[in-house]
Amino acid sequence: MEDNPAVKTVNRLVEVLDSFSSRRSGWSLTELSEHLDIPKSTLHRFLLALEAHGILQRDPKDRRWRLGYRPLLWGRLAANHSGLQVVARPVMESLAAETGETVLLTVYQNGEVVCIEKVDSPHAIRLAMDVGTRRPPHAGASSKVLMAYLPPDEIEALLQRGLPRLCTNTITDPQALREELARIREQGYAFSMEETDLGAWGVATPIWSPQGEVIAAIGLAGPTFRMSEESVQQYVRLCRQAAEQISRFLIFAHS
């Protein structure tokens, strides 16, 4: 997947840890071996190494592998160090309260867009996206915003890679997407309607670092039946305010 100076073991570690999700908290050796297509002996050795460091642990009850205590420590540290999440959370909460829609915080990572924080809409019918979910960078408001502010050559590389259709309105033509990204940079926000999921819309604005780089996007998304022309404009305004507020906090956060 990478042309980087990949260290295979790190890739493997990520594969293993990423096998755990909110829907899947335990794996037996055999299951995981099949899931990742790694021979059991190899995987077994590897899992023991992870266990020795508390990265994984075996549930004494069913002898399945679970996440250990160490990811907890790392996560807590990371949360303390990255001002972003900490700062963003309260802002996201009030944005969700004001709008009644789901609020998403996303970052661009290596050809993908990852959701790193969310606050759910109180409505039963809402956009539900788990923290950790990855999306291609060309579809959806948050994705497009993040893509729009990448370095030009990286944008071109992504365009070269192809633009698979995910939903009815996914932009699949490179030139159309180039123009859309230019429009986003000009307007300072992105809008999407059924680009990734049927019946869903979204808006998103960039979050700027104190150094003037786009480091994340804050997005608002929901079902189309709760959307109207006016509410979109309103939502864009609120989203932009939230993004600005977060950016401003970041200036104070670090040193």
Contacts to DNA by CB under 7 A? 5-10, 12, 28-30, 38-42, 44-46, 48, 63-64
- d(Cα 175, Cα 80) in Å, to the nearest integer? 41
The partner in contact with residue 132, picked from a second copy, DNA, none with C-beta cut-offs of 5 to 8 angstroms by kind, is a second copy
Q: Which of 79, 128, 157, 198 binds a second copy (CB under 8 A)?
A: 79
Q: Which of 215, 217, 238, 239 binds a second copy (CB under 8 A)?
A: 215
Residue 187, token pair as written in the block: 């307007």
Measured from the CB atom, the residue of 199 and 210 that comes closer to a second copy is: 210
Phi-psi group of 75: left, alpha or beta (phi > 0 → left; psi -120 to 50 → alpha; rest → beta): alpha
Residue 117 φ/ψ, nearest 5 degrees? -165, 150
Q: Which of 49, 125, 176, 182 binds a second copy (CB under 8 A)?
A: 49
Strands (E), 136-213: 190-193, 200-208
The partner in contact with residue 182, picked from DNA, a second copy, none with C-beta cut-offs of 5 to 8 angstroms by kind, is none
- d(Cα 1, Cα 86) in Å, to the nearest integer? 31
Measured from the CB atom, the residue of 69 and 225 that comes closer to a second copy is: 69
Amino acid present at 202: G
The partner in contact with residue 28, picked from a second copy, DNA, none with C-beta cut-offs of 5 to 8 angstroms by kind, is DNA
Q: Which of 199, 210, 228, 248 binds a second copy (CB under 8 A)?
A: 210
Q: Which of 154, 156, 173, 213 binds a second copy (CB under 8 A)?
A: 213
**Can you tell me whether residue 177 is helix, strand or coil?**
helix
Closest distance between DNA and the C-beta of residue 236, in Å? Answer: 36
**Can you tell me whether residue 108 is helix, strand or coil?**
strand
Closest distance between DNA and the C-beta of residue 2, in Å? Answer: 11
**Can you tell me whether residue 223 is helix, strand or coil?**
strand
The residues, ordered by sequence, that sit 6+ positions from 25 with a Cβ below 8 Å of its Cβ are 66, 67
DSSP state of 48: H
Question: Which residue, 253, 165, 178, 170, is CA-closest to 209?
Answer: 253
Q: Which of 37, 175, 211, 225 binds a second copy (CB under 8 A)?
A: 211
Q: Which residues bind a second copy (CB under 8 A)?
A: 2, 4-7, 9-11, 13-14, 17, 20-22, 25-26, 45-46, 48-50, 52-55, 59-61, 66-82, 85, 107, 109-110, 114, 116, 131-132, 209-211, 213, 215, 254
